[in-house]
Structure 1
Amino acid sequence: MATTDRQATTLALAHALSAAERGLAVIPLSRTKLPALRSPHRLDPPGTPPCHGECGRPGHGVYDATTDPARIRALFAMAPWATGYGIACGLAPHHLIGVDLDTKGDTDSTAALRELALRHLFTIPPTVVVLTPSGGRHLWLTGPSDVVVPNSAGRLAPGIDIRGAGGYLVGPGSRTDRGVYATAPGTGHLPPAPCPRALLRLLLPPPRSSHTGPASQHGHGLVQFVLAAHEGQRNTRLFWAACRAYENNLGLSQALFEAAIRTGLSPREARSTLASAARLTGRRGEEG
């Protein structure tokens, strides 16, 4: 078994280095699909501020992800039990979005995605597809550089999980307790395809409360939704609120801009996000 594990680690490292050459940031994974390196903060006292790698030590999961070959080799050297690798989503240059189609129970996630595509008038373009040992599929898509797609589980439809910023996909060639992840025939040479605009809009989070009143109340709710954003949510919330405002002709560009500034976004970031929402909804006259 030790020899098999060593071989699996060597293969995983080779696949990880190959992925890094394509601009995909990677981390080593264990057979359980979890990051192979343990957190250096696991013994920190309760209430210690979270660290995303600022301390400089390895063990921060997806925040360790890198395309640097020397760094990748060093991470795998620190985790000789690793038999796979994870590919970080949401990072430049691809800004990868993973659509995870699961096969648990009676769930037909492929049919659910097909129904969503028919209802919202989009098609999934030819792209990388990774087959999972359990019979599922991972579709690789790319997103705009200034749009933050969050992780979600079953929100889009039962059996469909989304891997976005702060998430990762198990890379092809990884070996887990269930088997080996492999690229679907005919897709390994493809670059990740751009996410259809209609699907991208579905991937962004809705407000936590519904707005059923008149347009003025709806607009107030969208502004409050932006104001309630915490760090890491600000661009996502501003983009979602701006899309809804443009779709409903609410004329909230300035109010949303000011709300975003109050949350800590820079004017440049806020304007860029508003412009992206305007382009996505076809409101080109309001991009500024």
Structure 2
Amino acid sequence: MTTPADNLKQAALAYAEMGYAVFPVTPGAKAPPLTAHGCLDASAHAAQVEAWWDAYPSANIAIATAGLMVIDIDGADNPWLTDQPERQLQLAAAPCSLTANGGRQFIYRQPPGRAWRNTAGRLAPHVDTRGNGGYILVAPSVLDGGKTYRWQPTCELEQAPTALPTPPDWLAAMLDALEQPAAEAPAPTDGNSIPEGQRNQALARIAGSMRRVGMTQAEILAALQRANTDRCRPPIPPQEVERIAASIARYEPDQAFTAAVEGHWDQMAQGEAEQELAAPPLPDPGPLPDELLRVPGFIGEVMDYCLATAPYPNPVMAFCGALALQAFLAGRRVRDPGDNRTNIYLLGLAHSAAGKDWPRKVNTRILHEIGLSDGLGDRFASGEGIQDALFLQPSMLFQTDEIDGMLQSINKAKDARHENVMGTLLTLYSASSSVFPMRRKAGQEAPSAIDQPNLVIFGTAIPNHYYEALSERMLTNGFFARMVILEAGRRGPGQEPRIVDLPPRVLETARWWANYRPGTGNLEDWHPSPTIVQLTPEAQALLVETRQQAEAEYAAAEARSDPVGTTVWGRVSEQTRKLALLHAVSANHTAPSIDAAAVSWAAQFAMHQTRRMLFMAQAHVADNPFHAECLKLLQKLRAAPGQEMAHSVLLKRMKTDSKRFGDLIETLSQNGGIEIVTTPRPGTAHRRYRLLE
């Protein structure tokens, strides 16, 4: 189930008109926010709210809870207060939101003099609070899977924040007891040392004071580095200083005071007070094995033709192109018993002139020959443009070379247009078996809709550009998890160009798909009833096994608080089913069946590709500039012969000064990332650095 975009926009404007500060959150999810600073960007100004939902029409609605107190009771059968009916009645005097996961959220305003913040499970088991520094989703927001937020009948949010009730006395007393404010330590003055246990907090407060008067991240960092060296006993690692400076600098100067009041500075001290267990490094499964690039039938035949005619044959890119073509042709025509469709988002990583363009040309030529070239797209002009194209042609194949540029623009918050594209792509992916509601256009009485949209993406990117665009935000917003990402590796030897006709069998199969109309009746093009491709019992058992394996990996990622791991492993079962369906219709388009061979291939493919994606994310995504340099150094060693390198060579390749280089080596040596190998020589010692993985 999806919520019409106009409903979301109008609801957001209505909340703002009542005086609630709102901001947009990723469609179908509780997080991440679609603004740079999350709840700190929340606004009750209609113009700002309208601009946000024009840019992200399918975004969920979040209300910032600064000045409010929300009692968040998880689960419809939560036993809290069941033995105290009088208190239950008093609790119900506040507006009540029924959450998408079956919980209840009672919304109060904070009394004067209170500054209640967020807590988790401290008020009672599975009862959280949301106050200063927090937010909640509100109706008509919807999560993936169709679960919606709604208001409890007769307890709707209809009053301004100032008209909300305050918590009853017994609840206020409990909330007061949760507050354990640390004594406000005065900012250290020149000459005072900062002892261990107070260093992060003290440096964060210094940074906050500087940010409030408009100082830049570079200015803050320079001051913190000096304070760390001169006054912290002992100094904290350089990368931690950079993290503090970057974290504080993300606030606008006028937001720094709010952040201080809400205790954001104090959270910096948690790095010293609570040492988290580091997740073990993920093993590298290596690029996808060649045998997993072979699919019988149509996909293999298109791939073979591409390799035989390409100036620079590239098996990975040829496979991506053939798989995308099959996914497009079968879209809205077949499905599996779980209503999984063939829409997939493929990304092939290859360097310039390595054969990225030829598979696109082959696909274009085939579709032109069979009369389906109007289903091709080559760039994402805007989210609305994608919607308009699919409204006219509900099944489309976008072949684009701009994926890395789009991700970089989003990551650097340069272009809201690309954010809008991302939101549209995420929503369309999940709407392939339902209806995608479009925005209402001027002059329309009601918004249009796209029935069972089949959007297939065959994107290409240059590897280093793509990796530079990665960030935790990009890895956890759902787009990364939906992508099938394959690396082409080094360019192979070229071959002399020659004109070769398209294979008759390829054209025959492609035309069969173009003419295939499942179902009966005059509405089959507008509202098709795709053929269900059945599973064999052996295939069903393998799918269950794969799902359970993915669930175990998800649980392990959840236990180590790994948001990237949970995001990616959460999609593996779905990806496996889509790939198995594509294998089946490629092998036998006239009478397909998802058998054990199809599921075995799909499961191996999905598992390997997921592990490779997570390894590459771990190897390239940095938390701060110092961490980025650490990862860069590890990459240099990983690519070196024997995974080791001489001191002088590595220093030159890192292109940094000797002091910074020394900090990198010391940090990586202490955390077990590298080993320093010293060989005695006459007059001096020869140092080498070896990767430890």
Residue type of the partner of 2:51?
Answer: A
What CA RMSD, in Å, does the superposition of the two structures yield over aligned residues?
A: 3.1
Which residue number in structure 2 is paired with residue 202 of structure 1? 174
Going from structure 1 to structure 2, the CA distance change for 1:180 and 1:59 (only over 3 Å counts) comes to same
Q: Does 1:226 align with 2:183?
A: yes
Q: Which has the higher helix share?
A: 2
- Provide Cα deviations, 1:35-74, integer angstroms capped at 9, x if missing partner: 441xxxxxxxxxxxxxxxxxxxx42100111100100112
Q: Do the aligned partners of 2:97 and 2:150 also contact (CA within 8 Å) in 1?
A: yes
Which residue number in structure 2 is paired with residue 16 of structure 1? 12
Q: Quick one: which of 110, 114, 120 aligns to 1:153?
A: 120
TM-score, with normalisation over the residues of structure 1? Answer: 0.56
Structure 1 residue 194: Cα displacement: 1.4
In structure 2, distance between residues paired with 1:114 and 1:21 = 36
1:133-282 alignment to 2 at 5 Å?
133-178=100-145, 179-188=147-156, 191=159, 192-204=164-176, 206=178, 225-228=182-185, 231-232=260-261
Which residue number in structure 2 is paired with residue 88 of structure 1? 64
Residue type of the partner of 1:67?
Answer: A
Q: Percent identity?
A: 28
Which residue number in structure 1 is paired with residue 468 of structure 2? none
Structure 1 residue 123: Cα displacement: 3.0
Which residue number in structure 2 is paired with residue 215 of structure 1? none
Q: Does 1:32 align with 2:24?
A: no
Which residue number in structure 1 is paired with residue 37 of structure 2? 60
SS of the equivalent of 1:188 reads coil
- Provide Cα deviations, 1:173-195, integer angstroms capped at 9, x if missing partner: 11121411011111126543211
Which residue number in structure 2 is paired with residue 76 of structure 1? 53
Task: With a CA cutoff of 8 Å and minimum separation of 6, indicate the structure with the bigger relative contact order.
Answer: 1
Going from structure 1 to structure 2, the CA distance change for 1:36 and 1:77 (only over 3 Å counts) comes to farther
Going from structure 1 to structure 2, the CA distance change for 1:113 and 1:177 (only over 3 Å counts) comes to farther
Going from structure 1 to structure 2, the CA distance change for 1:14 and 1:149 (only over 3 Å counts) comes to same
- Provide Cα deviations, 1:229-250, integer angstroms capped at 9, x if missing partner: 973367xx9xxxxxxxxxxxxx
Q: Do the aligned partners of 2:115 and 2:132 also contact (CA within 8 Å) in 1?
A: yes
Report the count of equivalent residues: 186
Extract unaligned runs of 5+ from structure 1.
Answer: 38-57, 209-221, 238-288
Residue type of the partner of 1:74?
Answer: A
Going from structure 1 to structure 2, the CA distance change for 1:29 and 1:233 (only over 3 Å counts) comes to closer
In structure 2, distance between residues paired with 1:139 and 1:66 = 21
Structure 1 residue 113: Cα displacement: 3.6
In structure 2, distance between residues paired with 1:207 and 1:140 = 19
In structure 1, distance between residues paired with 2:44 and 2:183 = 33
Residue type of the partner of 1:186?
Answer: T
In structure 2, distance between residues paired with 1:232 and 1:115 = 37
SS of the equivalent of 1:153 reads strand
Pair member with larger Rg: 2
- Provide Cα deviations, 1:115-170, integer angstroms capped at 9, x if missing partner: 5787x999325121111122111111111243111101100011101010010111
SS of the equivalent of 1:112 reads coil
TM-score, with normalisation over the residues of structure 2? Answer: 0.25
Residue type of the partner of 2:39?
Answer: V
SS of the equivalent of 1:227 reads coil
In structure 2, distance between residues paired with 1:125 and 1:32 = 27
Range with bigger deviation, 71-80 or 168-177: 71-80
In structure 2, distance between residues paired with 1:147 and 1:207 = 10
Going from structure 1 to structure 2, the CA distance change for 1:202 and 1:20 (only over 3 Å counts) comes to same
Extract unaligned runs of 5+ from structure 2.
Answer: 187-200, 202-259, 267-693
Q: Do the aligned partners of 1:98 and 1:141 also contact (CA within 8 Å) in 2?
A: yes
In structure 2, distance between residues paired with 1:66 and 1:35 = 17
Structure 1 residue 205: Cα displacement: 5.4
SS of the equivalent of 2:90 reads coil
Q: Do the aligned partners of 1:28 and 1:35 also contact (CA within 8 Å) in 2?
A: no
